[in-house]
Amino acid sequence: MNALVAGMATGALMASVFVAAGMFLAFLLIKDPSPSLAVYLARFPPGGLIMAIVVLSYPIWGFIGVILGVSLLALENAAPGGGLGTSNLTYSFGVLTAFPILAAPVAYILRKVWHGIMGIALAAGGIFGWLLPVFAS
């Protein structure tokens, strides 16, 4: 039960990081849009897009946190053993490597803001890979 609550709390923290960093990245993309993005922005106003990101990010990241809390519980039984300040090194290493790998295609597509996308991915890896096990124990 602690892992589920910790997952929801770290999901809310990650949503806050995502919203804060995502708004800077959205500003960089909207300031000088590519031709394909300009067509999309002409159809949909940027304010609506930003509001949708803010409204949807908290439940989505909270759900991701709960799922990762459940996977932490499963890995604590299957592969126990901590290290480097975490209660389960296998879980932490897996999460810390999975987020940047999953963000790499998005960073490739949005090359203009790749550094911000990878920063968000590393923040997610740190929050869910290290902070979640610390909160859960």
Enumerate the H helices of 79-130 as residue ranges: 89-109, 114-126
Position 83 scores a pLDDT of 65
* SS3 label, residue 134: helix
Query: Which amino acid is present at 79?
Result: A
**121 or 91, greater pLDDT:** 121
Residue 134 has pLDDT above 80, yes or no: yes
d(CA 38, CA 106): 19
Domain segments of the chain: what residues? 2-136
Position 21 scores a pLDDT of 92
Q: 87-114, pLDDT tens digit by residue?
A: 778 888 888 899 999 999 999 988 888 9
- Residue 26 Rama label (left phi>0; alpha psi -120 to 50; beta): alpha
Position 79 scores a pLDDT of 66
Entry pTM? 0.84
